[in-house]
A and B are shown apart, each in its own frame.
Chain A
Amino acid sequence: MLKGVHQKLDPQQTPAFFVRGASAFSRTVFFCALSVIAMAVDARLNYLSQFRQAFIGGLHPLEMIANAPSEWVRDAKKYFSAHNQLVQENYALKQQAFEHEVMLQRLSTIQAENNHLRSLLNGNIPIQPKAILGEISHTGRDPFTSVVVVNRGSQHNIKAGQAVVDSKGVIGQVTRVFPFSSEVTLITDKDLSIPIQIERNQLRAIAFGEGNNTLDIPFLPTNVDIKVGDKLVTSGIDGIYPAGLAVATVTKIQQNPESPFAKIISTPVAGVSNHLQLLLLELPQAKEAELVPEPAPVEKAVAETKTTTSSKTKVKHHAPR
């Protein structure tokens, strides 16, 4: 009987057993166009950051579930850590704290002296920035960018542009803020640069991330006074990173006879992969005023009549390569 049915069917026309709606090809074209538009909008315009923030905020419970197993493991490790290990650690920490206290005593007198000298010279007294303690919840999920995600967000008053440091040195800068987390771009990221100073001779320069856990200091002549092992500290001229924080040590200097510039490679001192805790430094007041999102139209009009020289600064320091 089945044979009979088959014979009656037109062999040229396939029966619509599987109704699939619009053809896969036309759907593909439609969705590809949509994604290309999304990419263009995301790359060129800034409309989608709000949408992204809202989405990441909504994703927070899922992230917490995903983070739970590793946190259980960490808690279990803490619970089962041996007694003598704790005693040892306690001893070492006490010793460290003692040493630090001695150093701090000297620091306070030196700072007072420094402030006094600065006031004699009519200089500005540097303000100590406040800091918020954060914890790395995971390293970035995109293998192309070097970011870490920290468990402090706009709910904890974090703003894009804040400098992030750990006990050893500068880690990077907050680039995206979500309700309960924020994205910290490491100084080794290709898009980030940091104004530095050679600690030994106070030479100022700008260090650029290279992408592979190193920093590059371009556009310095081959005879520049930089040696392997020199310490790089922040110069503070950008107003975002406080001056004097350790950034990196110079590990390699290449002199290419074909290029007028030396290739100076340095590795960051901050141990991003070693610690979980880090400090998010508060933005300086002047910088914060520039970085806040544009005010509402009415206020903006008033503001514009008041100051004609308002300029918008970008969070990242892009410079022509």
Chain B
Amino acid sequence: MRPVNLVAVYLSLLVALLCQLFPWVGQGIIFRPDFMLVVLLYWILRAPNLCSVGTAWFVGLLVDLATGSLLGQHALTFTFTAFIGLSYQRRLVLFNAWQLAGYVFALLVFERVAILLLKLFAGNDNPGWHYYWPIFTGMLLWQFMIFIFGSITRPKTK
């Protein structure tokens, strides 16, 4: 793993924000992955010294403002997800690619369900199964992040 540049972290988060702001219409909005969350999780698991709980909170706040949802909703769930991600972060070097993917999948599911719970408390209806699509598209985005910025798991030794 190459050392991580702080500029790369913030630049990728900015690009993720742009993707979030992209005018998604019709079917696109159902399949749209949580760009900010996936990019954030990547950097949290890769470089927790540069990107940690505080960054997660700030990114969540940005998502809240950009989506126009209740301020603090995504901030709360992103913070929690980041914390859970961090708690196993030091063991990730022992994981293989599949285990890591499973771990990220679990984190994405957690965030999705946490948002759903908050929305249900606020009196919204259960949106149905298509609500969970972003988890799967998020996994694709995760593979894309690994493809661009390199794997988090230990490189294979010969």
Contacts and interface: CB of A to CB of B under 8 A. Distances in A.
Contacts of B57: 31, 34-35
Nearest to B131: A143
A143 B20 CA distance: 13
A43 to B, nearest CB: 6
B17 A62 contact: yes
Interface string A291-306: 0000000000000000
Given A28-B53, A34-B57, A42 B72 contact: yes
Interface of A: 18-20, 24-25, 27-28, 31-32, 34-39, 41-43, 48, 52, 55-56, 59, 62-63, 65-67, 69-70, 137-145, 147, 176, 183, 190, 211, 273
Name the prevailing secondary structure of the B interface residues. Answer: helix
B15 to A, nearest CB: 10
B33 interface: no
Contacts of B83: 24-25, 28
Contacts of B56: 31
B155 interface: no
B18 A62 contact: yes
A273 B26 contact: yes
A65 to B, nearest CB: 6
Given A28-B80, A32-B79, A36-B76, A66 B69 contact: no
Contact of A140 (B52, B53, B68): B68
Given A28-B53, A35-B57, 10 more contacts: A18-B49, A27-B52, A28-B80, A32-B76, A37-B72, A39-B73, A59-B21, A138-B23, A143-B29, A143-B127
Contacts of A42: 70-72
B70 A43 contact: yes
A38 B21 contact: no
Interface string B85-107: 01100000000000000000000
B119 A144 contact: yes
B8 interface: no
- Name the residue among A38, A69, A70 with the largest chain B CB count within 10 angstroms: A38
B140 to A, nearest CB: 19
A317 to B, nearest CB: 17
B124 interface: yes
A66 to B, nearest CB: 4
Interface in B44-93: 48-49, 52-54, 56-57, 60-61, 65-73, 75-76, 79-80, 82-83, 86-87
B27 to A, nearest CB: 11
Most buried by A among B68, B83, B122: B68
B24 interface: yes
A147 B25 CA distance: 12
Nearest to A27: B53
Nearest to B22: A66
A68 to B, nearest CB: 10
Contact of A34 (B49, B75, B119, B131): B75
A66 B56 CA distance: 22
29 contacts: A20-B48, A20-B52, A31-B57, A31-B75, A31-B79, A32-B76, A34-B75, A35-B57, A35-B60, A35-B72, A38-B72, A39-B70, A39-B76, A55-B65, A59-B21, A59-B66, A63-B21, A66-B21, A66-B22, A70-B22, A138-B23, A138-B24, A141-B29, A141-B66, A142-B69, A143-B30, A144-B119, A176-B68, A183-B68
